Amino acid sequence: MNAKAIRRNLYKVFRLTGIPRNAIDERASLTEDLFMDEVDKALFLFYLETRFKVNVKNEEMTYLQSVGSTINYLQQHCA
């Protein structure tokens, strides 16, 4: 999957979790800028794994701290 497709699909995942379009920025922190709590993160992870057909292990969740880090993670795991 190319970088453009990853970004487009990731933005769709964020929209499914209720994040406003104008809040989605590569520098945005999931917890501090997008105000995601544990329930939001669980829903986000479900949609992420479903859309991208990846299996994110619990210990890998620490890599998903921002929009940009999530894009990087997906680029490495959706080759």
Rounded to the nearest 10°, the torsion over CA 6, 62, 15, 35 is -150
Q: What is the pLDDT of residue 9?
A: 96
pLDDT values of the chain reduced to their tens digit, one per residue, 79 residues = 898 999 999 999 999 999 999 999 999 999 999 999 999 999 999 999 999 999 999 889 889 999 999 999 999 998 6
Q: What is the pLDDT of residue 1?
A: 84
Q: What is the pLDDT of residue 79?
A: 62
- Among residues 62, 60, 76, the alpha carbon closest in space to that of 3 is found at 76
Q: What is the pLDDT of residue 78?
A: 85
Q: Where are the alpha helices (DSSP H) in 17-77?
A: 38-52, 67-77
All structural domains of the chain: 3-19+28-77 (1.10.1200.10)
pTM reported for the whole predicted model: 0.90
H or E segment and range at residue 11: helix 3-16
Rounded to the nearest 10°, the torsion over CA 56, 57, 59, 60 is -20
